[in-house]
Amino acid sequence: MLSNMGSAWVASLLLLLSASADAASLKVDLSSIASIKAGAKVVARNMMAYYHGDEPGQTIGILPGPPSAENLNQYYWWEAGAMWGTLLDYWHYTGDSTYNPKITQAVAFQADGPTGWRFQPLNWTASLGNDDQGFWGMTALLAAELNFPDPVAKDVPGWLEMAQAVFNAQAPRFTDDYCMGGIRWQVSSFNGGYNYKNTIANAIFFNMGARLARYTDNNTYADWAVKSWDWMAGLSYIDKHYNVFDGGDIENNCTQIHDVQFSPNAAVLIQGAAMMYNHTGAAIWKTRVNGLVNRTLDHFFPNGIMVERACELESKMQCNIDQHSFKGYMHRALATAALVGPPELQTLVFKYLTSSTAGCVTSCLDDGTCGFRWTIGKYDNDVDDGPAGQQMSALAALSTVLLTLDIASVKPPVTNTTGGTSKGDPDAGNNAPDVFAPLPVTTAGRGGAGFLTAFVLASMMGAFVWMAFGWSEGSP
C-alpha cells in the first residue's frame, strides 16, 4: 500500500501552495472550478502555440519534426496524436470547444484514407512503431467515448471505425514466433527496436481491446485484452506487486527484462484495467486495477506529487522530449479510473490529482509556460527538451483535477448502449495493404539490435536502456 503519506506529504503540499504566490506564477485556486478552467485555458493556448500544422506549407496534424541532426529539439509523430487526445480531455472536462475544429481536422488527416484509416500515413511508414500508431488509435477511440462529433465529410469514417482499423492492423502482429506471443515495438524489420517486445506496444493493444469491448459489447475484443494482459503478466512485464517494466529482447526470448519503469506503461494499463472492470464487473479486474493504482501512486507520486522517476533525478534532469509529456498520460488515466473503476478508488485518486496538480501549478508562469519539475515550487526553466510536452502534462493535470470538485457533472466514457453515436465497422481496415510485411530475423538484424543495446547500456549505465531510443519514436 501507500507509504510516507503523513506529515512530509502535507508539508510539501503547503510549501508548493505558498510558493505559488510568486508574482510571476500562474494563479489557480484549486477549490474553484472557474479558476481552474481559466488556468487551463491559458496553458492550452500556450501549448497550441507550438502547433503549426494548419499553416501554409506545413503538415496538418503534427508538431514540428521529426528531430534531425540539425534540430534535435523537435517532435516525433506519435506525440501529436497524444496532444490531440489531451485536448479532447480538455474539452470534455472544461467544456471549452475552442480547439475542436483543429482536433477533427488533424486526427482525420493523419488517419490517412489511402492506407485504410489506420494511422499509417506514408510519410511515417518507414519509422512506424506499433505504439506510435496505437497512440493515434487511442485518441480516435477517446473521441468516440466522449461523443466527440464524427467528421462530417462523407468519405471520412467515424472515430470508432478508425480505432477498430488500428486494432485490426495490430492483431495479426501479435505472434508467438518469439517470447510465446506479444507485439514487437517496431512494425518494420529494418528499424532499431524491431527485435524488442516492449510493454507500451502491448499495453496499448490491451487498452484498445478493453475499451473496444466496453464500447461495442463485442467480447472478441475482450478476449484479446485478456490474452495480451496474460502475456505481459506471464513474462513479469507486470510483476506480482504491479510494478510495470519496460520489455524484453527476442534474442533471449524476452526472459531478461529491462526493468526500468516509465509512467505511460502503467498509465495505459490502469485505464485499460479500469475499462475491463467496468465492462465485466469481475473481481479479478477490480484486484488488478486497484493493485496498479496503489503501486503506481506509491512509486510515481512521492509526497503526493508526480515525478517521472526514471529520468527526473534529484541531481539532474535527463528526460528527453517524449518523456516531458509523460505526466499528462498518468493524470488522464487516473481520472478515467476514478470515473469507471471500482468506487473505492475515487477518494484516493482525487487526493493525488489535487496534490500533484498543486505542484504542477507552481511550475507555471502567468503566461501559461509550465516547467516539468513539479516538486520545487517554481518554474524550472526546462526548455531544452520540448516544451510542448511540458504543456501537455500541465494541461492534463489542470483538466482532470476538475473531476475532484464536481464528478457528478462529468459524464463517464459512453458506449454504443449509453449514448455513443460514433459509427464503427468491425472489419475496418482489413482490406487495406499493411505496412511492410515482417522479415525473418537475421544475423544482421540481431547484430544491429545488439549494437544499439550495447551502446545504450554503456551510455546510460544499464538502468535506462531504452530511454536513449526516445521511447517509441521508431527511429532506427
Lowest-confidence pick of 65-79, 140-154, 169-183, 231-245: 65-79
pLDDT tens-place string over residues 328-368:
999 999 999 999 999 999 999 999 999 999 999 999 999 99
CB burial of 338-364 (b: ≥16 within 10 Å; e: otherwise) equals: bbbbbeebbebbbbbbbbbbbbbbbbb
> pLDDT band for position 432 (50/70/90)?
confident
DSSP letters, 58-108, are: S-TT--S----SS--SS--HHHHHHHHHHHHHHHHHH---TTHHHHHHHHH
* Nearest-angstrom CA–CA distance, 302 and 13: 11
Of the candidates 399, 336, 341, 339, the residue with the CA atom closest to the CA atom of residue 42: 399
Residue spans of the domains in the chain: they are 7-469
Q: What is the pLDDT of residue 73?
A: 82
The second-level CATH assignment, the architecture, of 7-469 is Alpha/alpha barrel (1.50)
Cα 270 to Cα 335, 342, 352: the distances in Å are 10, 12, 15
Q: Are 300 and 263 in contact (CB under 8 A)?
A: yes
Whole-number percent of the chain with pLDDT over 90: 80
Could you give the CA distance from residue 83 to residue 139 in angstroms, rounded to a whole number? 9
DSSP 325: G
CA distance 39 to 27: 7
Residue 463: pLDDT over 50 = no
For position 409, what pLDDT does the model report? 94
The answer to whether residue 288 scores a pLDDT higher than 50 is yes
Q: For 119-165, how does the pLDDT look when each residue is reduced to its tens digit (9 = 90+)?
A: 999 888 888 999 999 999 999 999 999 999 999 998 999 999 999 99
What pLDDT sits at residue 434? 60
pLDDT in tens, 41-80: 999 999 999 999 999 999 999 999 998 888 888 999 999 9
Mean pLDDT for 197-222 is 98
* Amino acid present at 221: Y
Do residues 321 and 50 touch, judged by C-beta distance below 8 A? no
Provide, rounded to the nearest whole percent, the portion of the chain with pLDDT above 70. 85
Q: Side chain identity at 74, as an amino acid letter?
A: Q
What's the pTM value of the predicted model, to 2 decimals?
0.89
Which pLDDT belongs to residue 382? 84
pLDDT the model gives residue 436: 52
pLDDT tens per residue across span 360-395? 999 999 999 999 999 999 999 987 666 999 999 999
129 in Cβ contact with 193 (< 8 Å): yes
Taking the CA of residue 444 as centre, how many other CA atoms within 13 Å lie in the half-sphere pointing to its CB?
5
Mean pLDDT score, 313-321: 92
Residue 8 has pLDDT above 70, yes or no: no
Contact at 8 Å (CB) between 475 and 268?
no
Strand order in the sheet with 247-249: 196-198, 247-249, 257-258
**Cβ neighbours of residue 202 closer than 8 Å, sequence gap 6 or more:** 182, 183, 228, 231, 232, 237
pLDDT of residue 408: 94
What is the identity of the amino acid at 99?
Answer: Y
CA proximity to 270, closest of 283, 282, 286, 254? 286
Mean pLDDT computed over 260-275: 98
The predicted pLDDT at position 476 comes to 30
- Tell how far CA 460 is from the center of its chain: 24
